[in-house]
Structure 1
Amino acid sequence: MVDKNALSLMAIHIHLLHDEHREAGWQGIRRSTNLHTLYWVHEGRGIFTQGNGMAVEAEQGSLFYLHPGVQLSMEADEHEPLHIIMILMDIGEAGYGEGGWTITSLTEPLPIPFHLKCTGQLFQLMNARFDLLLKGWSPGNPPSELRTKVKLLEFLAEGADSGGAIREGRAQNTSTEALEQYKRVLDEQYAVPLNQQELCESLGLSASYARRRFQERWGCSPKAYINYLRNERAKRLLLYTDMPLRSIAQAIGYSDEYQFSAAFKRMNGEAPSKYRSRHTAPADERVQ
């Protein structure tokens, strides 16, 4: 499975965004098995069966994700037609280094469940988003294609970030929504001193519960996540600005440059001044 950290480097090419109306009793197979595919069931009922024999009921509000290599047979109910929106896409991981840009094709599955069942308000939201993608995509029109890619990348990122919390008709519960709100606050305010106890209480969470669930969901503690965000911001400020260390420390939430330098060295193995000089020097002058 693709690591969630690779999602920030994800590049996408949409081959087809298609509105399919299949009559009752229709049978078909997934033909483009070399691509990543999304199927959104807008209306109707049927059965989707993977190559391993696992069969899942496809009904209004069902979302299916298939990575390259997965076989799928599809069958509409004998009494109900199927209305499906299909997205065929290539996904790659973009890298940038001294040699410039590189793109590596991603054929492993994204961290998104094979099947999600959406009901109620979630169905309305998802239906509107797929309708927007469908209407907004105009192949051959670069601005239209770019806007659609941005919307689709955002959608895939949200699907991965949810960790599959929405399954088989179960919407995210209140505590899960509060946990995601907690993470959004950290994303937006990592450079501001936060009282974790007060923040958790404002969201209806206990601090101990938030720490445990955050660790389970995102693989690190909230404190480690804040340090990670600060570190990534610091590296960019060191590389692309002439800001002194004191100003960088203040910009990312440290009380002084000594605290910042110690934290940076723990995470990167070298002092910020050395990191700046080593990475901003001409390539032929760097010590290998």
Structure 2
Amino acid sequence: MDVLSDVIAVMRSGRPRSASVHWHAPWAQRFASVPGSAGFQVVLEGTCVLRSPGTGDGHGDLELATGDVVFLPHGTGHLLADSPASATVVDADECAPVPSASPYVSDRVDPTGRGGPVTTLLCGTYQLDPSRTHPLLHGLPDLIHLPAARPGRPPELAAAVELLAAELRRPRLGTDAAVPALLDTLLLYILRIWFAEQAAAAAPGASGWAAALADPAVTAALHAMHRSPDAPWTVERLAAEAGLSRAPFARRFAALVGRPPLAYLTWWRMTLAERLLRTTDAPLRTVAEQVGYGTEFAFSAAFKRVHGSAPGGYRRAARR
């Protein structure tokens, strides 16, 4: 897997959730902070404003138009309203649910029944495992705004939104399979677009994951590690994947990623091992082989250095 796909697959836990919400102005809806999650808001119809913490006086309100996408990678609490002047606030869980047979689909309506202009929102939440948070996501801002009107915005984001909205509007055969796949697709498109925009705007010599994913040499090494974490990687072998000599590659990787190549590889292997121990009954020897350790003893020693407990004890504690 490529690094972005791998990161999302490993961090995800539980089921993604999505809902469409219909409001008639005037309205204001509060979304509480949800640690260990990431969420998005898409304006399907109408307009609204978003107020995040610290902008309660109305300054810094973000105006959203039809087609705009907002991503909150750290589950930050926020308020949506038809205008900054709206004062009556309804919590998200107070909206009246419309029954659905699908565990992924929840259609909700404005409980006040006022007859002003309509705004339709598409909301979603991804449950993330904070113990496996990748530094790629650590560095994201609290809020990412992708306006529909921005020149050059890739059309696949709008296509994913429309497909997801269609499944929520009219659940049918296959919806339970389509919705989680579309939620993952939407998340990938959001992150892909944001990283591409950051890389394009970065000054020469910039560091961080946006710059790392835009660097062909570093990306080649990252893909190699994620594709085959069990391979006997050395700095020399990774440098060969990157098409560079050893010393320049090691300096470049550490400058952009924030840690040396083998330190990143060890961290990623232990992250994968933690997931395998939590979610499978594979013998420790098998887990060791899958994350690149020739013996159970070597794997146990490495795992204990990172997590502070032996793999067997970690597995037992995680399942209590």
Q: Provide the TM-score with structure 1 as the length reference.
A: 0.58
Tell me: CA distance 1:267–1:86, structure 2 relative to 1, closer, same or farther (3 Å).
same
1:226 maps to 2:265:
yes
Give CA deviations for 1:199-219 in whole Å, capped at 9, x if unaligned.
2337xx94422222212xxxx
1:191 counterpart SS class: coil
Give, as a single letter, the amino acid of the residue that structure 2 aligns with 1:137: L
Q: Distance in 1 between matches of 2:211 and 2:308?
A: 41
Give 1:231 deviation, angstroms. 2.4
Question: Structure 1 residues 189, 28: closer, same or farther in 2, change over 3 A?
Answer: farther
Tell me, which stretches of 5 or more residues in structure 1 are unaligned? Answer: 21-26, 76-83, 96-109, 284-288
Residue aligned with 2:242, SS = helix
Answering whether residue 308 of structure 2 is matched by residue 269 of structure 1, we say yes
**Are 2:16 and 1:12 aligned?**
yes
Q: Does 1:63 align with 2:69?
A: yes
**Residues 251, 13 of structure 1: CA spacing in aligned structure 2 closer, same or farther, 3 A cutoff?**
closer
Distance 1:88 1:273, change over 3 A: closer
* One-letter amino acid of the structure 2 residue matched with residue 113 of structure 1: L
Contact 1:15 1:88 in 2 (8 A): yes
Q: Shift of residue 38 of structure 1?
A: 1.6
- CA shift, 1:234, in A, is 3.5
Instruction: Name the CA distance, whole Å, in 2 between partners of 1:174 and 1:244.
Output: 33
**Residue number in structure 2 paired with 1:186:** 225
Indicate conservation of the 8 Å contact 1:48/1:57, yes or no: yes
Aligned to 1:39: 42
- Please report the RMSD computed on the Cα atoms of aligned residues, expressed in angstroms: 5.0
Gaps of at least 5 residues in structure 2 are 1-7, 33-38, 85-118, 131-139, 203-209
Partner of 1:86: 121
More strand per residue: 1
* Cα shift at 1:58: 5.5
Residue 191 of structure 1 and its aligned partner are, at CA, apart by: 1.4
Whether contact under 8 Å (1:41, 1:63) holds in the other structure is no
2:179 equivalent to 1:176 = no
Q: Pick from 237, 244, 253: which aligns with 1:210?
A: 253
- The 8 Å contact of residues 196 and 207 in structure 1, kept in 2 or not, is answered as no
Match of 2:155 in 1: 124
Q: Percent sequence identity over matched residues?
A: 18
Q: Once the 2 structures are TM-superposed, how far is the Cα of residue 227 of structure 1 from its aligned partner?
A: 1.9
Q: CA–CA distance in 2 between the matches of 1:227 and 1:162? A: 29
Q: 1:98 corresponds to which residue?
A: none
The AA in structure 2 aligned to 1:116 is L
Cα drift, residue 144 of structure 1: 0.8
Q: Which residue of 2 aligns with 1:199?
A: 241
Size of the aligned set, in residue pairs, is 241
Q: Which moved more, 1:65-74 or 1:260-269?
A: 65-74
Alignment partners' CA distance in 2, 1:234 and 1:47: 44
Q: Distance in 1 between matches of 2:220 and 2:26?
A: 40
Q: Deviations over 1:167-188 (max 9, x none)?
A: 6x95978962645565444322
The separation in 2 between residues aligned to 1:6 and 1:249, in whole angstroms, is 17
- Deviation beyond 6 Å, 4+ runs, structure 1: 171-174
Secondary structure of 2:20's aligned partner: strand
Change over 3 Å in CA distance of 1:157–1:223 after alignment to 2: farther
The 5 Å alignment of 1:269-288 reads: 269-272=308-311, 278=316
- Structure 2 Cα separation of the partners of residues 196 and 30 of structure 1: 55
Q: C-alpha distance in 1, partners of 2:64/2:287? A: 52
State the secondary structure of the residue aligned to 2:16.
strand
CA distance 1:184–1:147, shift in 2 (3 Å) = farther
Task: Check 1:166–1:181 CA distance in 2 against 1; reply closer, same or farther (3 A cut).
Answer: farther
Q: Would the alpha carbon gap of residues 189 and 163 (structure 1) be closer, same or farther in structure 2, given more than 3 Å must change?
A: farther
Counterparts in 2 of 1:37 and 1:177: CA distance versus 1, 3 Å? same
**CA deviation vs aligned residue, 1:40-93 (integer Å, no higher than 9, x gap):** 589x9x895745322557578743347543244469xxxxxxxx9731245656
Q: Which of 147, 152, 156 is the matching residue for 2:178?
A: 147
Aligned-partner Cα distance in 2 for 1:248–1:188: 16
With structure 2 as the length reference, what TM-score do the two structures score? 0.53
Report the CA distance between 1:124 and its aligned residue.
1.5
